[in-house]
Structure 1
């Protein structure tokens, strides 16, 4: 026999115990069957002795019958105990399974808590929200600044001046060819013509240049 025999698992031990308990129950049932036969036999002998008027034999047989019936009662009680042990064993095994499952779940939660520190995660989310707000504010400020730059009041005058300068240069190069070009006038009735040209004026002058 090896001194290093493998220790049975819980499932194996449970099956082994269950086999032992079932065998015990079968043995008790066989014993009770024998006791039932003996009980019937004693009852018949007591009746026979009573008919014969043998009081002494009846007394002895009656005591044996009482003992036999007490033995049957103990046998039934033992069977109930064995059954209870079997049920208790199954309940214990079920509780062990639940405990194992809870232990596994606990380890899983511990590992997750180590990997995902709630405080650290909350801090990261706060930083993200903070930086996201900053980015939105920066984007809004940049957009507002660009809008202000692109809509400055002096931009239109500067653009008109550049266009006028280009047209003047073209007019010098084709000297006298803009004489018949339509003049651009702006302003309300009664006001002098403004030197500032509109987009329509520029288009008309360019069209006139094409016709030359």
Structure 2
């Protein structure tokens, strides 16, 4: 009963079993050929002996046996060659079966991937992603603009302009980008600059008064 329910051997197991049988057969053939070669030499010696004795009938019988023995030895070599060819063919078939199995597995994998990765569904997902990404960028830009409007007060720009002008005066550059005199380039000249401005105003007032007197 155990033999009836025994598992069917796998391809690998069957190949190994076949290889053992063929190797054993080859060894048996080589052993038989060794015996035939020894018998062949023995017949050759007997033929030479009978020829020296002038026994033509014995020479003829022995010669026929030698020819048959040599034919048998040739058939043994042919059989060994065929067995070797069968072994090589079996290995090639096994290799082809492995490749076919690998291709079948790859085909199933591709089929599963094609089922999972629907091209139309994937294209739609990419379009939705691009759409939502654009929306996000627009929303981010709007939020940034709103935050800038809320955080920027009306007096900030004027205050910033005053600070910029002060810094430019300190480094010796006026609003128009012209260089002032070198002595005013060092720091601590804010007071002197204001005095220069007051002197200029006084000159303008004197000129206006002189025009009125004319």
- TM-score when normalising by structure 2: 0.63
Q: Superposition RMSD on alpha carbons, in Å?
A: 2.5
Q: How many equivalent residue pairs?
A: 156
Shift of residue 119 of structure 1? 2.7
Shift of residue 151 of structure 1? 7.4
Larger deviation: 40-49 or 132-141?
132-141
Q: Which runs of 4+ in 1 moved over 6 A?
A: 148-152
Q: Which runs of 5+ in 1 are unaligned?
A: 157-188, 190-212
Q: Which has the higher contact order (CA 8 A, sep 6+)?
A: 1
- TM-score when normalising by structure 1: 0.63
Counterparts of 2:95 and 2:41, CA distance in 1:
44
Residue-by-residue CA offset, 1:78-136 (whole Å, 9 max, x unaligned) = 01111111122122222222222222222222222222223312221121012212332
Q: Secondary structure at the match of 1:73?
A: helix
Give matches, 1:21-170, under 5 Å: 21-141=22-142, 143-144=144-145
Partner residue in 1 for 2:210: none
Partner residue in 2 for 1:184: none
Judging changes above 3 Å, is the alpha-carbon distance between structure 1 residues 6 and 145 closer, same or farther for their aligned structure 2 residues?
Answer: closer
Larger deviation: 93-102 or 64-73?
93-102
1 or 2, which has the higher helix percentage?
2
Larger deviation: 75-84 or 49-58?
49-58
Larger deviation: 73-82 or 47-56?
47-56
Partner residue in 2 for 1:195: none
